[in-house]
Every structure is written in structure tokens, then in C-alpha cells.
């Protein structure tokens, strides 16, 4: 006699495939609150750089003399300066100039330094010796001193400051890119590509560059924070955009004359610079940890 086994229908809830993934993201965010705060803050800074009217619709150059040097309060969230201009509005609109100079500086350092490093590590021989000795000369000169010398030759202005800071950072990108190119150049898949007759530029483009670019991009994120400090320092010294531009470094420079009676003129833009650098460094450390796995 044959017995028929009849399974009872499942009456419970059907498991959702998205639930484990969602729980994983929640655990990831809860374990890294500093990273979450850093990403949110950097997103706000980028929003202030590209669309400052969203966060501060007022005119940053419009001042009311009757409201000069007012402390932070309900009328002015972060106080006013010596001309009655809102400090919060000027800091938000100043993010555009500061980040524009920073992006240009990092792009110059990444492109020039990366190209020098790839050429030195891939070609080797006398080309490597000449390029690396030039990089050693750049490393021997302090970055601030080199930037000041380049600004003297190029002239004042935000773009000139950015180019000077970028050239001063070329050496670090060149050394990291050369080391990664040498590592990838000795890999098995690169040797296999050469053995089958692949042209050198195809090997460089398809195999060497994609596998050597990861640490250099992480370095670019880290250098972004250092470039903000360098650009702000040069702007503080008066080499950046001329008044009434609200660049972060120039805002700190303007507020130092009123530090005894209006501390917020220096504290607010200085806090914006420090928070941006710390947030970018936290993100770069997270990227470095993920890449090292």
C-alpha cells in the first residue's frame, strides 16, 4: 500500500531577501557613526559649494551697518562681521571658492604626479632615474615655501594658488604611483600579456593603470584635506581671491583684527576648515581600509 505524503502549505510570512541586506547596512552604519557624520558633513559642504543658495539664500556681500559685530543669536545664527554681513552666509558661499581651489590643486597633483610615477615605473632605466631625482628635489623643498615661490612667479588669485599647491604635492603622488606601477608590472597577468605580443600601451592601459590606481585615489582623498589647509593658509596670507570674496582663509584673516571683541569671526570659518579636513580624513581612512582587504 502506497502512502501519500501531503505537505501542508506554509502559512507563515515569506522571508524577504532584502531584509538581511538592510540589516547589514544598519549594522555597518551603527558601528561607524563617525564615518556617517563625516559623509553627511562632506555632502553638505559639497552642496554649499555647488548650490549655496539652498543653504544660504541671502547675499554674502550685503551688510547692514546697524547690525555690525552682533554675536550669534536668533537674528544671525553665527553672528555678523565688522560690516554687518552675516557670517553664516559668507561661510556657506565661501565654500565654493575654497573647494574650487582644492579640486584644482588635487587634480593637478594627481594628473602630473600620476603621469610621472607611471612613466618612471613602467619604462624604468634612465627615465626612472631622471624623474625620481626631480621628485627628490621637490621633496627636499618645504611645500609651503615651494607654493610661495610659485605664487610669486604666477601671480595672486584662487586659481594660481591652487596650481601652486598642486605642484607642491606632485612628489607624493609620483612616488606612490611609481611603487604601485612597479608592483603591478611584475604581476603574472602583465607577463602573460607581454608573452602573447600585446603592445606596451595596451598593457599599460588595460592592466597596469586599473590595478595601480586604487592607492593613488585613496591618497587623492587624503590630499584633499591637506590641500584645503594649504589653500586656506595661503589665502590667510593674502595670496587668494581679493576682497570682498568670502574664501575661508581670508575670512579667518579678516576676523583676526577683531578677535578680542568678536571671536566668532575667526572661530566659525576656522571650525569649517577643521571639520572639513577631519571629515575627509575619516573618509580616506575608511577607503584605505576597504582597499587593503
Average pLDDT for 191-199: 72
Per DSSP, 69 falls in state T
Q: Within a 10 A sphere around the Cβ of 51, how many other Cβ atoms? A: 10
Q: How many CA atoms lie within 13 A of 124 on its CB side?
A: 7
Average pLDDT for 80-94: 88
Q: Which residue has the higher pLDDT, 202 or 80?
A: 80
Percent of the chain with pLDDT over 70: 85
How would residue 4 be classed by pLDDT, with cut points 50, 70 and 90? very low
CA 167 to chain centre: 16
Q: Which domains does the chain have, with CATH numbers?
A: 33-57+76-292 (1.10.3720.10)
- pLDDT tens-digit profile of 9-23? 545 554 555 566 565
Torsion sign (Cα): 128, 133, 136, 141? negative
Q: Which residue has the higher pLDDT, 182 or 26?
A: 182
Q: Within a 10 A sphere around the Cβ of 224, how many other Cβ atoms? A: 21
- pLDDT tens-digit profile of 38-61? 888 888 888 888 888 888 888 888
Q: What is the model's pLDDT at position 21?
A: 59
Find where cell 556681500 sits. Answer: 61
Residue 113 near residue 169 (C-beta atoms within 8 A): yes
How would residue 5 be classed by pLDDT, with cut points 50, 70 and 90? very low
Report the SS3 class of residue 80: strand
Mean pLDDT lowest among 13-22, 46-55, 176-185, 254-263: 13-22
Q: What is the model's pLDDT at position 26?
A: 62
How would residue 148 be classed by pLDDT, with cut points 50, 70 and 90? confident
> In the structure grid, which three cell numbers stand for residue 209, read together?
593603470
Mean pLDDT lowest among 2-6, 28-32, 117-121, 224-228: 2-6
> Residues 6 or more apart from 134 whose CB is under 8 A from it?
116
Mean pLDDT across the chain: 81
d(CA 284, CA 88): 27
Please check the confidence at residue 173 and state whether its pLDDT lies above 50.
Answer: yes
Report the SS3 class of residue 211: helix
Residue 248 near residue 232 (C-beta atoms within 8 A): yes
- pLDDT tens-digit profile of 217-239? 888 888 888 888 888 888 888 88
Q: What is the model's pLDDT at position 20?
A: 60
How would residue 75 be classed by pLDDT, with cut points 50, 70 and 90? confident
d(CA 209, CA 184): 9
Residue 269 near residue 193 (C-beta atoms within 8 A): no
Q: Which residue has the higher pLDDT, 204 or 125?
A: 125
- pLDDT tens-digit profile of 89-135? 999 988 888 888 888 999 999 999 988 888 888 887 888 888 888 88
Q: What is the model's pLDDT at position 292?
A: 55
Residue 170 near residue 143 (C-beta atoms within 8 A): no
Amino acid at each position: 500500500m502506497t502512502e501519500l505524503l501531503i505537505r501542508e502549505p506554509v502559512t507563515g510570512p515569506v522571508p524577504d531577501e532584502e531584509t538581511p541586506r538592510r540589516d547589514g547596512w544598519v549594522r555597518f552604519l551603527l558601528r561607524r557613526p563617525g564615518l556617517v557624520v563625516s559623509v553627511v558633513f562632506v555632502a553638505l559642504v559639497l552642496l554649499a559649494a555647488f548650490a549655496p543658495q539652498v543653504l544660504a539664500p541671502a547675499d554674502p556681500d550685503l551688510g547692514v551697518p546697524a547690525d555690525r559685530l552682533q554675536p550669534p543669536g536668533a537674528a544671525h545664527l553665527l553672528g555678523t562681521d565688522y560690516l554687518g554681513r552675516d557670517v553664516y552666509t559668507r561661510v556657506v558661499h565661501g565654500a565654493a571658492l575654497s573647494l574650487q581651489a582644492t579640486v584644482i590643486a588635487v587634480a593637478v597633483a594627481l594628473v602630473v604626479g600620476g603621469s610621472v610615477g607611471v612613466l618612471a615605473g613602467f619604462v624604468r632605466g634612465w627615465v626612472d632615474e631622471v624623474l625620481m631625482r626631480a621628485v627628490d628635489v621637490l621633496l627636499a623643498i618645504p611645500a609651503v615655501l615651494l607654493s610661495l615661490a610659485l605664487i610669486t612667479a604666477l601671480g595672486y588669485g584662487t586659481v594660481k594658488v591652487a596650481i601652486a599647491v598642486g605642484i607642491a604635492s606632485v612628489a607624493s603622488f609620483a612616488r606612490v604611483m611609481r611603487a604601485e606601477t612597479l608592483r603591478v608590472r611584475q604581476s603574472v597577468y602583465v607577463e602573460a600579456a607581454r608573452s602573447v605580443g600585446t603592445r606596451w600601451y595596451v598593457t599599460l592601459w588595460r592592466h597596469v593603470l586599473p590595478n595601480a590606481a586604487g592607492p593613488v585615489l585613496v591618497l587623492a582623498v587624503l590630499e584633499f584635506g591637506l590641500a584645503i589647509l594649504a589653500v586656506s593658509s595661503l589665502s590667510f596670507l593674502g595670496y587668494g581671491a581679493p576682497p570682498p570674496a568670502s574664501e575661508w582663509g581670508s575670512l579667518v584673516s579678516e576676523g583676526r583684527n577683531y578677535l578680542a571683541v568678536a571671536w566668532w569671526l575667526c572661530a566659525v570659518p576656522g571650525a569649517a576648515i577643521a571639520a572639513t579636513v577631519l571629515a575627509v580624513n575619516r573618509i580616506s581612512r575608511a577607503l584605505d581600509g576597504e582597499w587593503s582587504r
